[in-house]
Structure 1
Amino acid sequence: MSDLVQKSINTLRLLAVDAVEKAKSGHPGAPLALSPLTYLLYHDVMKHDPADHKWIDRDRFVLSNGHASALLYSVLHLAGYDVPLDQVKSFRQWHSITPGHPEYGETPGVEVTTGPLGQGFGMSIGLAIAEKHMAARFNQPDMPIVDHHTYVVCGDGDLMEGISHEAASLAGTLGLGKLIAFYDDNLISLDGPTELSFTEDVTKRFEAYHWQVLHVADGNDLDALTKAIAEAKRETSKPTLIRVRTVIGYGSPHAGTSKVHGEALGAENTKKTKEFLGFPPEESFYIPEDAAASWGEIKPKGKKAHEEWDALFAKYKVAHPDLAAEFSRTIKAELAADFDKELKPFPAEKPVATRNAGQVVMNALGKTIPELIGGAADLTASTKTIFKDSANFHVDPNGRNIFFGVREFGMCAAVNGMAAHGGLIPFGSTFFVFSDYARNALRLAALMSTHSLFVFTHDSIGLGEDGPTHQPVEHLMSLRAIPQLTDFRPADANETLECWKLAVERKSASFMALSRQDLPVLDPEKTKGARKGAYVLEDAADAQLVIIATGSEISLALKALPELKAAGISAKVVSMPSFKIFEEQDEAYKASVLPANLPKLAIEAGATMGWYKYIAGNGAVIGIDRFGASAPAPIVFEKLGFSVANILEHAKKLTGK
């Protein structure tokens, strides 16, 4: 290693240390250990263009151990991304683009939001799936317009998390040969030596997952790292884990101990670290001129690589104009103008479960939205989320059916990675109750505002005999509480159609809660109101009561209207398939749907707590604030209060009848 390369690496190390020191919080240990690898990737290995961090054919870099974010911001600055030094100095401060953990959309060059350990690793699988699928779909002989790698750095904590097992197993099964992971094997966790809690043989584990596993004995050895990366690239049929032995906090007085993991070094130890690395101890955010010049070589190399790709794509457009137009449309996240042309309203001939309606709608959209791709956690037959005219991705990477296996968390993280990659609209599906297994991935989808779709079926106590372990009660309201996550609980097949349209149009994270049981089909002209989140489904000029419901409970509300009328109560029924979209409407519209002067009765087979904002003043909720029960669905509904008689009783109390 030349003196200049060593100086460039140490510049990176100490920028990160100074950022943490100035903030008086952060994690200096990993940046001190991982700077040689990070330098090598950004300076010599990766194909990337700092001037255009959204170039579709760039290599992706994921820092799964996101607490080492000071390292990422420092390398992005040095490599020429739009991350000014002042932003590195503003690490972890209000309104900076250098938050405590990497945030997708906040910082140029950050590919996904990481921090909750294991999820960056899980999302990297999605990034690699997206590359493999788009390469199969668009590449032509001698014209590989999609040809890039995904690099992910992970630590012991990432690999302890259960999601890493799910994701690694899936990646090996799918043969993601362009996925290269670096395991920062430093023998230290926050509590102390890893032998306290993590003694498994990681090498054998990943080999059992059908990964290639390579070893680098010293994380400071650039030659060994270079050789390992080259070997990883040669293996195209399976992903590669490169196990790198590092020293956490390298160069600092507490190197190799947990003391350097999660807090600033302190002024005195920072000076000692700089002295050890040959830098002026009193200088902060010091970038030597020759090191800056060396780092400056990255930007022109990236520009050249991008220009070469542009030239290739120009030839591609001439040779394959239709494919080129489709490629350009999808990477811009634009839907075809006629994307909904295959959608047909459902007739009111017979009841249809919304999960079955979802299958019809999804397959119709699949004909005009070829970028729609996904699958279920071993439940495609139950959640009805399979493309009938497409292959299995595992067999043919051009296929749009991904069998995720019983890996709910891994599936949803992979969906987020696919969405962050660009060019795809991915979805994952399972029973609604199992969204608990994946909740943090749903939260990250919302936080990143990625176009991640989640299709949950068996949405309530309507599941029946499987009992409370499988009957979601608190889940709907719990997920509605996540900011930026759009909720959909359609009342029938035609609302399902409208919700699916909205889900693909909105370009943000959303979930659907669909029924197992058949539901009466509503008038398609009326259900278009679902596009506003809530609408008056059945009006009454002299209404004395507003009944608000979602999903399967809409049919119960409609069934109650004759009984209410017979009791002298005139009621209008409001369907509210989406709280979030309703809240986006103007106040005049919301007041027209839910007049302030009328009492309100909300009906939903789930937790009641979120309804009180809509019934405040004079209202009641028929809901479930307990777990369900095992019995045929009609009996469970009746025993838990979902009956015409209970609606009538509540209505009388609210109206004084």
Structure 2
Amino acid sequence: MKNIDKKCINAIRILTIDAVQKANSGHTGLPLGAAPMAYELWANHMNHNPENPRWINRDRFVLSGGHGSMLLYSLLHLFNYGLSIDDIKNFRSMDSKTPGHPEYGHTVGVETTTGPLGAGLATAVGMAAAEAHLAAKFNRVDYQIFDHYTYVIAGDGCFMEGISSEAASLAGTWKLGKLIILYDSNHITIEGDTSIAFREDVASKYKAMGFQILRVSDANNLEEISEAIEKAKLDKEHPSLIIVNSIIGYGCPAKQGTSSIHGDPIGLDNIKETRRALEWDDEEPFFVPPSVYAHYKKLAIKGAKKEDLWNKLMEKYAYAYPEETKLLKQFYSDADSQILLGNPDFWATPSNAEATRTSSGKIINIIKDVLPNFVGGAADVGPSTKTYMTDKGDFSAEDYSGRNFHFGIRELSMAAIGNGILLHGGLYCYVSCFLVFCDYMKPIMRLSALMHLPLTYVLTHDSICVGEDGATHEPIEQLAMLRALPNMIVFRPADAMETAAGWYYALTNRDAPVSLILSRQDLPQLNSTSKEALKGGYILIDSQATNPEIILIATGSEVALALKACEELREKNIDVRLVSMPSMEIFEKQDQVYKDKILPKAVRSRVAIEASATDSWYKYVGLDGAIIGLSDFGKSAPGSQLYEYYGFSVNNIVDISQKVIKKNQSANKKKEQV
């Protein structure tokens, strides 16, 4: 190993121990052990340009063990991605660019937010899949416009998590040869040696899933690491797993190789000993020699030259393939909202009753022709969720140009791969399963929301009307769970018109994921629904007075039921307003004047109707209203019987509405008497 390489590697280690010590919080073990493989990868194999972190043909890097974030922050600082030494000193501080775990959109150069272990690895599979799809779409002989790798550094914890196996199985099935995983194999987790809970033959397991297996016996041997990466790049038929035998916390004599260095500062005495062991002469915290910065600058220039070559290739490509170039620009531009807003087919409603999943399926097959970069699929339930795009082919090892993704029965990794496809850039994406199984996807849906990724979740079979499948398949608390996620847009439409509004919002909003909550059973088409659904909540049936006696609020399949209840209440001379509330989150984005117009504060008699848990609704009905919802897990019976059993009937809505009015009238009289 050259002396300058040694210094550059140890700079990563020194910055790590100093930052963690100053913060009195963080993980030193992974960065100290994995520094050589990360340095060798970034310095000599990855194509990246710090001057243009969004270069579309850059190699992607994912630190799946995000707790070792100082490894990535040190690289971003040393390669001059815009992280200053002060940012490094402010590690884990309020509003710093160096939070405890890397966050996409917060720190330049971070390709994804890696929260739970394994999530990063699974997300990287989506990035590699996107590269393969775009390459199949745009590459031509002698014009490899999309030709980049996706690299991952993952640790023992990542390989224990089931999401990694789910995603790796798909990567092998799809033969994503440009996915290369470096396994930081140090056999240590928080509780001790991995043998207490993890004795798998990872190499055999991943070989069985279709991976090329390579080994590096010494994590400090740059030549061995380099050779393994080059072999991995040569095999285009298989994703590669490079098992790198490392020592956690390498360089800290008192703690290396032990669990005690995993997630704690090592202390000032051990910092001195580590500097001595690494032959680091400078005692000043955060000091990096000018020679190290100079060398990293030279390495960064190599990346800029790579992009220059690519830009010249693009110029020739644009001349040779003008139509493809025009299409490529469209892929990397936001959708023209007017194309959908003014498309009569998109907003067309059938004359007959229709499940909103069916309406959604029709809309998907309109979108596919408007947006050529619209891709997606389901977790083996495409025929049930109606998410298959006709005549657009299937993404597979045999045809990467297909736009329908078959994820198999792997909801968790499906969501992460969807995130990865969007993070790669150039594509719109949706994923799909039954609403009840979003429980499997929750950690990744949270990451979608945290990263502000506009991934569309198509979640069908949305209520007890699933019926005969029984309590295990009837979603009760899932809507409340999704609504509790910050920055998750939940949209439960009442008919085809509102379903179109949900899809329109999903495609034109670029700042949040959208969960479309769709029915299995047929729903009537309502004459009063409209594009006003784009406001999240709007009046379907208005009252005669500005302040009605009572307001009914409903979503999805319960809107039609509430509409009938309104008719009966009016026959009883009760002035009633019906509000359809397909999306609480979008409604809350409206200005206060609009919200007060729809739900006047003076009207305290309110009834919310939704075949779901009631938690979400108290902010709209308050203490003086009522909620017709669910408080148990459902039963196995035909949906119509369950609807009646749980009180989703016109008679019950009318009865409860009258009781709410009477209760509030009595309360008002008492106030007047006082």
Is TM > 0.5 for Structure 1 vs Structure 2?
A: yes
Secondary structure at the counterpart of residue 530 of structure 2: helix
Q: Say if 2:275 is the partner of 1:302.
A: no
Q: Give the stretch that moved more between structures: 60-69 or 309-318.
A: 309-318
Q: Say if 2:530 is the partner of 1:527.
A: yes
* Structure 2 partner of 1:69: 69
Give yes or no for contact 1:602–1:611 (8 Å, CA) kept in 2: yes
> 1:167-186 residue pairs with structure 2 within 5 A?
167-186=167-186
Shift, 1:344, TM fit: 3.7
Q: Distance in 2 between matches of 1:335 and 1:125?
A: 29
Residues matched between the structures, number = 656
Equivalent of residue 363 in structure 1, options 362, 365, 373: 365
Can you give the 5+ residue segments of structure 2 that lack an aligned partner in the other structure? 666-674
Q: Say if 2:573 is the partner of 1:568.
A: yes
Q: Deviations over 1:352-411 (max 9, x none)?
A: 100000000011011011111110000000001110111110131111000000000000
Equivalent of residue 620 in structure 1, options 619, 626, 632: 626
Letter in 2 for 1:513: I
* Structure 1 partner of 2:314: 313
Q: Distance in 1 between matches of 2:9 and 2:42?
A: 11
> 1:371-390 residue pairs with structure 2 within 5 A?
371-390=373-392
Secondary structure at the counterpart of residue 627 of structure 2: strand
Equivalent of residue 425 in structure 2, options 422, 425, 431: 422
Secondary structure at the counterpart of residue 406 of structure 2: coil
Give yes or no for contact 1:622–1:641 (8 Å, CA) kept in 2: yes
Q: Distance in 2 between matches of 1:134 and 1:347?
A: 34
Equivalent of residue 630 in structure 1, options 620, 623, 636: 636
Q: Deviations over 1:288-347 (max 9, x none)?
A: 122221111122112111111111111222222222122123224444752453734334
Q: Distance in 1 between matches of 2:560 and 2:120?
A: 42
Q: Say if 2:330 is the partner of 1:326.
A: no
> 1:91-102 residue pairs with structure 2 within 5 A?
91-102=91-102
Equivalent of residue 610 in structure 1, options 604, 616, 623: 616
Letter in 2 for 1:299: A
* Structure 1 partner of 2:584: 579
Q: Distance in 2 between matches of 1:481 and 1:208?
A: 40
Q: Distance in 1 between matches of 2:568 and 2:541?
A: 15
Q: Distance in 2 between matches of 1:294 and 1:451?
A: 39
Distance 1:342 1:174, change over 3 A: farther
Q: Distance in 2 between matches of 1:336 and 1:42?
A: 39
* Structure 2 partner of 1:165: 165
Distance 1:185 1:347, change over 3 A: closer
Letter in 2 for 1:627: F
Q: Distance in 1 between matches of 2:68 and 2:334?
A: 31
* Structure 1 partner of 2:671: none
Distance 1:45 1:344, change over 3 A: closer
Shift, 1:21, TM fit: 1.1
Secondary structure at the counterpart of residue 143 of structure 2: coil
Secondary structure at the counterpart of residue 254 of structure 1: coil
Give yes or no for contact 1:42–1:79 (8 Å, CA) kept in 2: no
Aligned residues: percent identity?
46
Q: Distance in 1 between matches of 2:544 and 2:353?
A: 29
Secondary structure at the counterpart of residue 22 of structure 1: helix
Q: Say if 2:652 is the partner of 1:650.
A: no
Shift, 1:283, TM fit: 1.8
Secondary structure at the counterpart of residue 10 of structure 1: helix
Q: Distance in 1 between matches of 2:210 and 2:344?
A: 41
Q: Distance in 2 between matches of 1:343 and 1:243?
A: 53
Give yes or no for contact 1:335–1:369 (8 Å, CA) kept in 2: no
* Structure 2 partner of 1:411: 414
Equivalent of residue 589 in structure 1, options 586, 594, 597: 594
Give yes or no for contact 1:182–1:243 (8 Å, CA) kept in 2: yes
Q: Deviations over 1:400-448 (max 9, x none)?
A: 0000000000000000111111111111100000000010000000000
Q: Distance in 1 between matches of 2:243 and 2:582?
A: 48
* Structure 1 partner of 2:672: none
* Structure 2 partner of 1:512: 516
Equivalent of residue 645 in structure 2, options 635, 639, 652: 639
Secondary structure at the counterpart of residue 147 of structure 2: coil
Q: Deviations over 1:574-598 (max 9, x none)?
A: 0011111000000000011111222
Distance 1:21 1:333, change over 3 A: farther
Shift, 1:130, TM fit: 0.6
Letter in 2 for 1:527: S
Shift, 1:5, TM fit: 0.9
* Structure 2 partner of 1:399: 402
Shift, 1:615, TM fit: 1.0
Letter in 2 for 1:133: H
Give yes or no for contact 1:249–1:261 (8 Å, CA) kept in 2: yes
> 1:453-472 residue pairs with structure 2 within 5 A?
453-472=456-475
TM-score (norm. length: structure 1): 0.98
Across the aligned residues of Structure 1 and Structure 2, the Cα RMSD in angstroms comes to: 1.3
Can you give the 5+ residue segments of structure 1 that lack an aligned partner in the other structure? none
Q: Distance in 1 between matches of 2:331 and 2:430?
A: 16
Letter in 2 for 1:497: A
Q: Distance in 2 between matches of 1:182 and 1:162?
A: 18
Give yes or no for contact 2:340–2:504 (8 Å, CA) kept in 1: no
* Structure 1 partner of 2:540: 537
Give yes or no for contact 2:430–2:457 (8 Å, CA) kept in 1: yes
Letter in 2 for 1:351: A
* Structure 1 partner of 2:669: none
Letter in 2 for 1:630: S
Q: Say if 2:199 is the partner of 1:194.
A: no
Secondary structure at the counterpart of residue 409 of structure 2: coil
Letter in 1 for 2:523: L
Equivalent of residue 560 in structure 2, options 531, 534, 555: 555
* Structure 1 partner of 2:668: none
Q: Distance in 1 between matches of 2:349 and 2:586?
A: 26
Q: Deviations over 1:206-251 (max 9, x none)?
A: 0111111111111111111111111111111111000000000001
Q: Give the stretch that moved more between structures: 334-343 or 232-241.
A: 334-343
TM-score (norm. length: structure 2): 0.96
* Structure 2 partner of 1:284: 285
Q: Distance in 1 between matches of 2:228 and 2:345?
A: 51
Secondary structure at the counterpart of residue 296 of structure 1: helix
Secondary structure at the counterpart of residue 405 of structure 2: coil
Shift, 1:561, TM fit: 2.1
> 1:83-94 residue pairs with structure 2 within 5 A?
83-94=83-94
Letter in 1 for 2:49: D
Give yes or no for contact 1:127–1:150 (8 Å, CA) kept in 2: yes
Q: Distance in 1 between matches of 2:100 and 2:335?
A: 32
Q: Distance in 1 between matches of 2:654 and 2:290?
A: 80
> 1:236-251 residue pairs with structure 2 within 5 A?
236-251=236-251
Letter in 2 for 1:104: Y
Shift, 1:562, TM fit: 2.4
Shift, 1:63, TM fit: 0.1
Q: Distance in 1 between matches of 2:334 and 2:202?
A: 39
Q: Give the stretch that moved more between structures: 13-22 or 399-408.
A: 13-22
Distance 1:344 1:281, change over 3 A: closer
Q: Give the stretch that moved more between structures: 345-354 or 411-420.
A: 345-354
* Structure 1 partner of 2:154: 154
Distance 1:348 1:240, change over 3 A: closer
Equivalent of residue 431 in structure 1, options 430, 434, 442: 434
Secondary structure at the counterpart of residue 613 of structure 2: coil
Q: Distance in 2 between matches of 1:136 and 1:443?
A: 31
Q: Distance in 1 between matches of 2:350 and 2:111?
A: 46
Letter in 2 for 1:634: S
Give yes or no for contact 2:498–2:529 (8 Å, CA) kept in 1: no
Give yes or no for contact 2:219–2:245 (8 Å, CA) kept in 1: yes
Shift, 1:349, TM fit: 1.8
Secondary structure at the counterpart of residue 634 of structure 2: coil
